[in-house]
């Protein structure tokens, strides 16, 4: 299989490129830059790949990409694919989009949260929201890869929402992310002297992943009106911990909560539910989402902890899961399962 990757210079694109290199079904990877006019050596654009990186990043050209590849990945910033993906959609060419441009079904919602022009309604309608554990790509040709916070939070909430086990207006999410989630662009908030030994709240109840979380939650349970969603930048490089609080419905027991998680994920290759609350170290470098819960019988609150590597399960790894579904490949093909030690 020949794959195109548009956008290899950001953290998400870098990790996706590494995953594609390890995929047994990928025979060729062609790199493109959507704003380039000439070829550029990968070793020059991304020095971290080293001088042995002989690949070239080619100028973006739709006809060239479709003629030379079987699928294209976009690891571009928000606002790019909404403007350039139309020819692929018109041609029915397979696309896996890691940006947020096609996740939301209503243009007005996208423009409110992303502050950019939305893709046309017909194109949004045709896009498939690729939360890998809850569906199959099937005949869809345009996959909108979920956001990192959305992935961790939705996987933690799915058993509760789908089984109607919690009070719909009681969901509070305290989500924490490492600095790679902020991307490569320089900012005061991500300087070492600012992040080291520090915690910083940001985009409280304003994060752009909130509407996609709500969109999916309401598809599972229309009674959920809203969530309280807080995001914190923590002094680690990679990883997300989403701590979810909700009040259970009267009569719900701890045994029912555990059973809902075990049943929901009994056949999931990359979701692990355990008896203890998980930590970031056990998923860093892998495509796993690890889940645990604690029930308080006095307050009738359930606490769910969901951890992922934001660059793998929250980005490139889930994109590979969607690739495997799209082309009928083994579900675990090309996906890392060994944690980074120490």
CA gap 221, 160 in Å, rounded: 10
Q: Is 86 left (phi over 0), alpha (psi -120 to 50) or beta?
A: alpha
Give the three-state DSSP class for 302.
strand
Do residues 17 and 1 make contact, with C-beta atoms less than 8 angstroms apart?
no
Give the three-state DSSP class for 273.
strand
Give the three-state DSSP class for 53.
coil
Closest CA to 144 of 87, 183, 93, 105: 105
Is 289 among the catalytic positions? no
Which candidate in 14, 80, 137, 148 is catalytic? Answer: 148
- What DSSP state is assigned to residue 180? G
Neighbours of 104 (CB within 10 A): 25
Do residues 184 and 82 make contact, with C-beta atoms less than 8 angstroms apart?
no
Active site residues: 148
């Amino acid at each position: 299989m020949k794959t195109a990757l548009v956008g290899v210079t950001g953290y998400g694109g870098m990790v996706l490129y590494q995953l594609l290199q390890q995929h047994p079904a990928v025979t060729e990877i062609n790199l493109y830059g959507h704003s380039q006019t000439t070829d550029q050596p990968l070793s020059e654009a991304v020095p971290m790949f080293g001088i042995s990186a002989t690949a070239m990043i080619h100028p973006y050209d739709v006809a060239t990409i479709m003629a030379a590849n079987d699928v294209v990945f976009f690891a571009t910033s928000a606002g790019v694919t909404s403007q350039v993906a139309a020819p692929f959609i018109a041609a029915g060419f397979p696309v896996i989009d890691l940006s947020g441009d096609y996740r939301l079904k209503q243009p007005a919602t996208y423009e409110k949260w992303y502050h950019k022009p939305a893709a046309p309604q017909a194109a949004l309608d045709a896009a498939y929201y690729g939360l890998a554990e809850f569906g199959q790509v099937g005949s869809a040709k345009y996959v909108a890869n979920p956001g990192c916070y959305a992935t961790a939070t939705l996987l933690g909430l799915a058993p509760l929402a789908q089984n109607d086990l919690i009070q719909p207006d009681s969901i509070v999410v305290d989500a924490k992310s490492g600095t790679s989630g902020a991307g490569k662009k320089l900012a005061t908030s991500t300087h070492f002297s600012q992040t080291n030994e520090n915690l910083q709240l940001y985009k409280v109840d304003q994060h752009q992943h909130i509407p996609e979380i709500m969109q999916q939650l309401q598809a599972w349970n229309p009674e959920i009106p809203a969530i309280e969603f807080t995001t914190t930048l923590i002094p680690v490089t990679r990883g997300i911990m989403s701590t979810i609080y909700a009040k259970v419905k009267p009569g719900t027991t701890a045994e029912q909560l555990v059973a809902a998680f075990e049943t929901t994920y009994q056949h999931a290759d990359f979701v692990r539910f355990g008896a203890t609350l998980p930590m970031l170290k056990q998923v860093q470098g892998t495509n796993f989402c690890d889940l645990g819960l604690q029930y308080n019988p006095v307050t009738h609150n359930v606490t769910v902890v969901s951890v992922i590597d934001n660059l793998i399960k929250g980005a490139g790894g889930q994109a590979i899961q969607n690739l495997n579904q799209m082309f009928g490949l083994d579900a675990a093909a090309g996906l890392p399962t060994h944690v980074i030690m120490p």
